[in-house]
Amino acid sequence: MASWVDDASSNETAIITCFVAVFVVVYFAWNENKSSKANAKLPPGPRGLPVVGYLPFLGTTDLHKTFTELSGVYGPIFKIWLGNKLCAVVSSPALVKQVLRKLFVSKMMSNATLDACYALRKQEVKNTIRDLYNNNKDNIGSGNGKPIDVGELSISTLVRVMQNMLWGQALETREKEITNLGANLAELMVLLGTPNISDIFPVLSWLDMQGIERRAEKISLWFENIINSGVEQYRNKFSVVKGEEAAAGKNIERSRNKDFLRLLLELQENEDSASSISMPCSWYVKQLDTKSCKITAIYLREAASDDIIVAGTDTTTTMVEWTMAELMQHPQVMKKVQEELAQVVGMDSCVEEYHLPKVKYLDAVVKETFRLHPALPLLVPRTASQNSNIGGYTIPNDTNLMLNVWAIHRDPQLWDNPLDFRPERFLNDDIISKFNYSGNNFQYLPFGSGRRMCAGIALAERMLMLVLASLLHLFEWKLPPGTKLDLSEKYGIVMRKKEPLIAIPTPRLPNSDLYQ
């Protein structure tokens, strides 16, 4: 009997010892995981229990309310441990914007996504080529083609490309708004480039003396309005189209004409699958859904908001215009570009995106144009978030910082003959790896650098190269008789050519079918 009691108590002790041992191992493993993350500066948040973290305190319902209470204590971004999974909860529009911007870059600018909407880009470039050809076809051979404004041509192409890619099918029935889009964008750019007295004297900002904020607000509301109704239309259309495609047995994944909104809706649908948005993002998404925010509308506002369209079209247009102008100023370079295109694409084909990685000389021409004419000469102004010391001087908190990339790109200590247009400087293999668009080399920053760097580089590169290669492969370009090229600049957030580039295109390829 005694031995049975002894056995039982020693069994009990063994079980307790085992349990404690397992607990200690798990606790230390959990702590290890936590402390490796703790080295990074994590957001603040409530303490949880070992192993289970904050899970026991969350309850099963009204998670959004618990989170709202926690954000009252810990601020607009806080962390909680759910088991050993670290989660961050974001509840301020500015931070949500940051998260979604990251999502925009990682998901919408991925090669797979950009491949999926190639057909939409290609279609719009084809339409431009057709219009250009048809406008000039009566003059072919006469040497008296019609002059066109290269900037206007590229902005109308790029606005359509961007719209089509972002939310084209949502706006199919809204022709009038689409026509107004170009005019509203142009006005917005003028407003953004106008020096604003309110920025210089914030105390006067409530007066909005120049009316800039009122006008900008009106245009933003207009954008928001079409976008919101577009989303609703689209949601309905999306389910119908999907149903039809499924009935017709189409492989939806392979379709190459999906606009971004469609891809976003699919992403949202697949949220729980392997291909879904990574944990932190789907977490925010779930929170937003719980709060009955329309996540698609938020996504869309982010992905297709006026700032993305403005950021994407005006910059790319400006670069098409500058590159064409430099090429017309340097006919030998233009000739080499066209020879390269003839070799890579062939005189009986149109340019396709898969040709672009092979046109190295055109790539060097574009890089050299970026160097001499960076689209945003002062990048996006930064504000110092704390007192700092830069170059031995004190820069007080809240100072506006302007980074003069234009000057760096023309600095004679950094570049040989910096004012010469010499694409060859970007052809050397060492140089190619040294100067890319990643923002890691502070000598060359056409897309900026750091947290605020361009969110659309991957798309920008594809669109710019496709438009330029198509215009240059399909047409010869010359100035109207008696005119001179002027390369002076007009300062603005985006720095355009002062005088529009007016040029005459003449079809270059023998097969007229390629222009239709």
Q: Which residues bind ligand HEM (CB under 6 A)?
A: 101, 307-308, 311-312, 315-316, 319, 375-376, 379-380, 446-449, 452-456, 459-460, 464
Q: Report the nearest approach of ligand HEM to the CB of residue 328 (Å).
A: 19
Q: Give strand pairing partners of 393.
A: 390
Q: Where are the alpha helices (DSSP H) in 331-485?
A: 331-345, 360-372, 405-409, 429-434, 457-474
Give the up-direction half-sphere exposure of residue 111: CA atoms within 13 A in the CB hemisphere: 2
**Closer by beta carbon to ligand HEM, 337 or else 467:** 467
CA distance 139 to 506: 9
In degrees, rounded to 5, the angle at the alpha carbon of residue 149 between the alpha carbons of residues 478 and 323 is 65
454 is in an annotated binding site: yes
Q: At closest approach, how far in Å is the CB of 166 from ligand HEM? A: 8
Query: Least distance in Å: CB of 95 to ligand HEM?
Result: 13
Q: How far is the CB of 447 from ligand HEM (least distance, A)?
A: 5
Nearer to ligand HEM, 30 or 447 (CB): 447
Lookup result for tokens 């084209």: 168
Looking at 82-136, list the stretches that DSSP marks H as alpha helix, in order from N- to C-terminal side.
Answer: 93-103, 111-116, 118-136
The span from the CA of 358 to the CA of 345, in Å, is 9
Helix, coil or strand: residue 91: coil
For residue 503, the SS3 value is strand
Residue with smaller CB distance to ligand HEM, 437 or 515: 437
Closer Cβ to ligand HEM, 8 or 401, answer by number: 401
User: Nearest approach, Cβ of 414 to ligand HEM (angstroms)?
Assistant: 18
CB-facing half-sphere around the CA of 158: CA atoms within 13 A? 31
Map residue 83 onto helix, strand or coil.
coil
Q: Where are the alpha helices (DSSP H) in 346-502?
A: 360-372, 405-409, 429-434, 457-474
Structure tokens at 283: 């977490």
Which is nearer to ligand HEM, 432 or 453 (by Cβ)? 453
Q: How far is the CB of 38 from ligand HEM (least distance, A)?
A: 28
> In angstroms, what is the minimal distance from the CB of 453 to ligand HEM?
4
How far CA 155 is from CA of 128, 204, 318, 321, in Å, comes to 11, 35, 8, 10
Which of 158, 328 has the CB closer to ligand HEM? 158
Q: Which is nearer to ligand HEM, 226 or 311 (CB)?
A: 311
Annotated binding-site ranges for heme: 454
